[in-house]
Amino acid sequence: MTSFVRRTLLATTVLASATIGFSAAHAEDTAPAAATTTAAADEQDNPTSVGTGARDRGADIVVTARRRQESSQEVPLAISVVGGEHIDSTGSFNVGRLQQLTPTLQYYSSNPRNTAVNIRGLGVPFGLTNDGIEQGVGIYVDDVYNSRVASATFDFLDVAQVEVLRGPQGTLYGKNTTAGAINITTNQPTFDFEGKAEVSIGNYNFKQAKAAISGPLTDNLAARIAVSSTSRKGTIYNVTTGEHIQSQDNLGLRGQLLWKPTDTIDVTLAGDFSNQDANCCGSVYVRTGATQRAINRQFAALAAAQGYAPPSLNAFDRLTDLDTDLRAKNKIGGASLRVKWELGEGTLTSITAWRFWDWDPSNDRDFTGLPIVALSQNPSQQDQYTQELRYNYSSDKIDFVVGAFGFYQRIDTQGTEAQGAAASRWSINPGSVAAVPPGSSGCGPSASNQLACDPTVLDGLVAYNTQYLKNTSAALYGQLSWHITPELTLQPGVRLNYDKKEGYYQRRVFDGQGNELLLGLPSYTARQSAQLAIYTPQEISPTFSDWNFSYDFTASYKVAPDVLLYATYAKSFKSGGINQNGVPVDGSNNPILATATVKPESVHHYEAGIKTQFWDRKATLNVSIFRTDIANYQANVNNGQYGVLRGYLANAGAVRSQGVEADFSVRPSERFNAYVNGAYTDATYRKFTDAPCPPELSGGTTVTSTTTVSPAGTPGGISPENCDISGQRLPGVSKFSFSFGAEVNAPAKLLGKEGEVYFGYDGSVRSNFSSNPSPSAYTWIDGYSLHNFRAGFRTESGFDVYGWVRNAFDQNYFEQLMVGPGNTGLIAGLPGDPRTWGFTIKSAF
């Protein structure tokens, strides 16, 4: 792993060099320092609607949700804003931790590639990632779109604020925002010399260092450099390797140059690089549940037949025995050029960007310490290019934005999956024999299928997957705000979008002796048939293209200077896609090409809300109600087998997400502030009649027209071919979720410095939620609450030292539960972080 000390020394060297250069340039400046016109510079000292940013009561929170700077209370949409100061003080250093502050944000990650970020229960299908579709929550950093959700797993780097826009944002943010958008703004270069540094240490060998420095190089050229490094020992102990897994080992770098050749032109060149090299990612044994497999083919019998037992039956002992090397090397970065030109009452903006993502994983897909799946890895390389050109205009009667957006992406993936020495006895049915004793695999002279007793049948069986995706998109868009009166504004918006996806998928299969298994032969031996049941060769070249037109209309009315009413209707879509990981096969093992493409989602969204400030703007209360209906919802389908097809995409009939959200904050004085945010979300499948069945209804003989489905969990029972889950809850969504917190401070003097002591608290509560695409009795995660505290001393000059504890009451909870492959009844899980504590010291200059 990358050494924390080495990285910190590198950061110190870079910053020291930059300081010398900045100081020299600053000393040579004879003209007054010019003020930057970037949004982040204006925003970074403003208070936030979530948490405790600055101390000015009644100041506006400046956002860029409509691609222009304005007060968040003037924007007629549901939006949460978290300032950089509160992000740092609460330890919310990535999107995953941000969900504890924003109740309608859901984040699930078994590893960086298999990450889901949803808003109001919508966004991406729950389960293994498929590169052939779009995400439904757009992630933007300084106006640059990040097409892969893996970017959400990296540490925030020198962030000024984060805006979480709830509800479809298709007009201004594109086809990838049917559920909302996360708009991240970093601190920009300044023409005043400034810097900051922060170091944290804690239990689990937690170490984090952050630093940034900014200032002028010449009269019209400024630069900013930022670095972040995070490391922590893993929270799960692997008894097989003697190592802790689920560790953190992150490094981030960002550099920016701001050139102002005139008072009306800003040119910003930015580059960034982030690296993760953690001992990750694994799981622990949670439980088993009865399926409809034969009793000797369920987990308890299969494990006993090979003398296997999990290292602990208590998931919160945090022990695992995974026997495959784990790896989650993740690199992401890129460069962008942003040009802003003030033209009269408008601004012309061009953003040109390139992003890359390199993913190098290794996983243990059988979730046990047995060598069943010996290797599972799909390294991937992505390059994306974007170009956006837009013009913003503002006047007393109208504001408008018009623009064009182009996108090209290329993804190449090279996959390897292999079976191990325990695979034959685990995956091949030895056949029915009389009076099979409990715990027996059925192997022996009386077994009707001796292949199960021969480890060489599957040991060394390997599949090599080769795939690529070319994704092209272009759009024209516009949004108008017509101020009919000072109180009444009508806001229509439109977007025309074209998509084209070209994919390729090839799977070649070889047995343990290196012989390739081919389809189309006149006949197969029993050994070959058993091998082909695990890995099936396949080659497809799916394509998709389509035009889509989306639009929205919002009416807002100011009842009073600090009371805004609004209502919105939006017709949006999420682009169709292709199954990039393979498709199901028919009885002759031929790919079913009708399943190669996935229809676009069609979205109808309705929302109404009120935004208010009162008590001399010391208090803010925003409330919204919403309903989102989606037809042809893109759902992830898993077939329960080890290697035949881990998952593919299909269209569910319809889903609906509806609910109520409220955000309240109060700051009666500079000595106290508090906030409470809450959401009720009812997100369900409205129609999904051919969904994959949950494990308790899977694994038995498939039902026919003359048979009756057995009750759930009946060993050796009759299973339906698919299940009707209409009316059931979408995965990952809690009906009720809340976040709340407060901070109190008092004047104090420490080490001769005038300042204030403070005590802060942040908490969150969520009710239970399903952790499987088809709700299962075995994968409901109980609701839980988390409580974080901090206390310290700070000065107006930027010095701050404090201690912190997160998950203070050591709540045991799961972030995610996963159904083991093969319908054996195994349930594995990812426990959330235990209690962590530490100390932070930071300084600004």
Query: What ranges do the domains of the chain cover?
Result: 4-420+458-844
Res 713 pLDDT > 90: yes
Q: Which two three-digit tokens encode residue 95? A: 């999107």
Mean pLDDT of the chain: 88
DSSP class per residue in 156-214: P-SEEEEEEEES--HHHH-TT-SSEEEEEEEPPP-SS-EEEEEEEEETTTEEEEEEEEE
**Cα 22 from Cα 763, distance rounded (Å):** 41
The secondary structure of residue 32, as a DSSP letter, is P
The CATH number given to 4-420+458-844 is: 2.40.170.20
Show the beta-strand stretches assigned E in 101-170: 105-109, 115-119, 137-141, 144-146, 159-166
Residue 672 pLDDT > 50 = yes
| Angle value at C-alpha 805, between 802 and 811, nearest 5 degrees | 170
Least confident segment among 143-157, 293-307, 477-491:
143-157
Overall average pLDDT of the 665-686 stretch: 97
pLDDT tens-place string over residues 368-418: 999 999 999 999 999 999 999 999 999 999 999 999 999 999 999 999 999
3-state secondary structure of 782: coil
Pairing relation of β-strands 319-320 and 236-238? Answer: parallel
**Mind listing the pLDDT tens digit for each residue in 171-226?**
999 888 999 999 999 999 999 999 999 999 999 999 999 999 999 999 999 999 99
Cα distances from 671 to residues 9, 53, 183, 558, 641, in angstroms, run 38, 13, 30, 31, 59
Residue 173 CA: distances (Å) to CA of 19, 341, 440, 482, 591: 37, 21, 58, 20, 36
Tell me, what's the pLDDT at 706?
A: 66
Read off the pLDDT of each residue in 690-697 and give the average, rounded to a whole number. Answer: 90
pLDDT in the model for residue 452: 82
pLDDT, tens digit, 9 for 90 and up, residues 625-650: 999 999 999 987 765 444 444 567 88
Going by C-alpha positions, the residue among 348, 389, 390, 351 that lies closest to residue 264 is: 348
**Which of residues 699 and 447 earns the better pLDDT score?**
699
Residue 669 has pLDDT above 60, yes or no: yes
pLDDT band at 704 (very low <50, low <70, confident <90, very high): low
Q: How many C-beta neighbours within 10 Å does residue 345 have?
A: 11
Tell me the C-alpha distance between 681 and 348, whole Å.
39
Range of lowest pLDDT (43-47, 338-342, 347-351, 396-400): 43-47
Question: Percent of the chain beyond pLDDT 90?
Answer: 73
pLDDT band at residue 445 using 50, 70 and 90 as cut-offs: low
Tens of pLDDT, residue by residue over 543-560, are 999 999 999 999 999 999
Query: Sorting pLDDT into bands at 50, 70 and 90, what band is 38?
Result: very low
pLDDT in tens, 79-99: 999 998 888 888 887 888 888
Greatest mean pLDDT among 3-7, 362-366, 560-564: 560-564
Beta-strand relationship, 769-770 and 780-781: antiparallel
Q: Are strands 753-766 and 769-770 parallel, antiparallel or unpaired?
A: unpaired
Say how far apart CA 617 and CA 614 lie, in whole Å.
Answer: 5
522-525 — which CB contacts under 8 Å span 24+ positions? none
Q: SS3 of 448, please?
A: coil
Partnered with residue 550 across adjacent β-strands are 495
How many CA within 13 A on the CB side of residue 32?
Answer: 3
**H-type helices in 315-428, by residue range?**
423-427
* C-alpha span between 399 and 74 (Å, rounded): 13
- Average of per-residue pLDDT across 728-753: 95
**Angle at the Cα of 96 (from 91 to 100), degrees rounded to 5?**
65
